[in-house]
Amino acid sequence: MSASLIQRCQHKLNYAFNQLQAPVSFQEIEALADQIVQITSRPSRHFHDTEHLLEVADTDDAIEILAALFHDLIYVQVDSGIALNQTFYIAPFIEELNGQQIIIRNKLPEDRAYELVAALFDMHPGQVLSPLQGENEFLSALFTAKVLQTWLPLKALAQVIVCIEATIPFRSVAAEGMTPMIALQQRLERANQRFALGFSAQDIHASIKRAVRLGNRDIKNFSDPNPVAFLDNTWHILPELNQDLNKGDVYTVRQYRRTLQKMSGFLNSLSAERVIGRFADEPSESGYQDLVERIAYNLEVARAYLGMKLVAITVLEALALRLHSDTPVSLMTGGLPSVEDNVGLHLENYLPPLEQIYWPGNSVEEQVLQLLEQGRSLDSHYDTKHSPLSAFMLKSIGFTEMQRLQKRAWQMFAEEISGEEFLKHCPDVLVEATVSASVHLFEARIQVLRGTEAQH
């Protein structure tokens, strides 16, 4: 664990508890900081790590700081379960269903902290938790409440829990026009009466606005002015969606394609309005519209970028199926470059020069081509920053034709057409160039095995 991260967490916790006049000893703060960093420094954490918590905690508001440092501490899918030191606090309230799902127990102990969390999240006995409907946020809030109840009164706990609830992402407005934040306001009003929290109407209003600020900081990367930075963060999330990518570059072509497919499908279903939260004048009308526009542009770039990469990986997958359904990406592409790699056995080195280059028709196409050719700005442990095969294909046939192939690719994913049928829909120039480059790559490997120098 990084001593610097622990010290930064200690500083944040110390400041927040002092502001709230909570009777927490320095040793207890040390233990909390150590636990936070330990949980969020696991190898499975690539985006939702300690650095992310500290970025969300970049504020002077004590309630927001505590909510930020605790809001991602339970992430069942990423961590492949719940840590033992976490289950100690929450096991009385949850149980496994068929070894796969987590449900709220039907018989619950009397516990004010749990009841408060359940009321603010609108959770009920016997309810099956879903990662798409706040499972991880609910469990993190429950863990938070049980840990912090030693030092904080129920009123302060409610404020922290409200902030964590607001980090449930990508929710739609209900059919009757009820926004997630108005629904949260109503639940806080009911909890205020039930638990005698002592909030005024103004306090409740301020608590929801605070929660919106925190929730929007949690997804701040979506509105980054630089689409490249947004995609960098997206590429850090991908290994959290598919743990196979944590194996370096020994994952299969199909595993990589399915990860891109999952992210592409998600982004294509997402509207900018579902990303950003709003309540009353938080954020302001002009600020809200600016954020929506930036998010919409980033989503447009990301969708197009993923679409181009999906076409390229689908061509590779269709060819790889001629060898085996579990063909590794590294076999088809040459693997990730390394410092020790002086041979240059990479597919991109054997792609032919282009006779005709398609030029982008608008700013989105220009941004996408630049990303494919020059690469994202940050390295990832499982993928190259640039996408030479995707760039080659895009420059060969253009966006319109690549988008047509995307539709065929999705038919292949749905098993409506086979890999060979997909290849028949592809322009000959793409298939022939990819096959030729692959053959040259295999031949170069043979030369290396025989002890002769690979020829490009």
The mean pLDDT value for 328-348 works out to: 75
| Helices and strands (H, E) in the chain, number of each type | 20, 2
- Token representation of residue 142: 């429950």
Please check the confidence at residue 339 and state whether its pLDDT lies above 60: no
Instruction: Choose among 103, 124, 127: nearest CA to 115.
Output: 124
Please check the confidence at residue 152 and state whether its pLDDT lies above 90: yes
Residue 454's pLDDT is 47
User: Which residue blocks in 91-226 are alpha helix, DSSP H?
Assistant: 112-121, 135-148, 154-165, 180-194, 201-218
Instruction: Choose among 125, 111, 117, 106: nearest CA to 141.
Output: 117
- Token representation of residue 13: 């916790």
Please tell me the distance from the alpha carbon of residue 187 to that of residue 182, in angstroms, as a whole number.
Answer: 9
Please check the confidence at residue 248 and state whether its pLDDT lies above 70: no
**Residue that wins the pLDDT comparison between 80 and 62:** 62
**Residue that wins the pLDDT comparison between 239 and 116:** 116
Residue 201's pLDDT is 97
The mean pLDDT value for 203-230 works out to: 95
Please check the confidence at residue 241 and state whether its pLDDT lies above 50: yes
The mean pLDDT value for 229-234 works out to: 86
Q: Per-residue confidence at 355, pLDDT binned at 50, 70, 90?
A: confident
Specify the amino acid at residue 100: Q
Residue 27's pLDDT is 96
Which residues, 6+ apart, have CB-to-CB distance to 407 below 8 Å? Answer: none
Please check the confidence at residue 341 and state whether its pLDDT lies above 80: no
The mean pLDDT value for 101-127 works out to: 96
- H or E, element range at 101: strand 101-104
The mean pLDDT value for 240-263 works out to: 81
Convert 367-379 into a string of H (helix), E (strand) and C (coil): HHHHHHHHCCCCC
The mean pLDDT value for 76-96 works out to: 91
User: Which residue blocks in 334-454 are alpha helix, DSSP H?
Assistant: 363-374, 388-413, 419-425, 428-449
Q: Per-residue confidence at 451, pLDDT binned at 50, 70, 90?
A: confident
Please check the confidence at residue 237 and state whether its pLDDT lies above 60: yes
The mean pLDDT value for 129-145 works out to: 95
The region of weakest confidence among 18-22, 282-286, 331-335 is: 331-335
pLDDT in tens, 15-74: 999 999 999 999 999 999 999 999 999 888 888 899 999 999 999 999 999 999 999 999
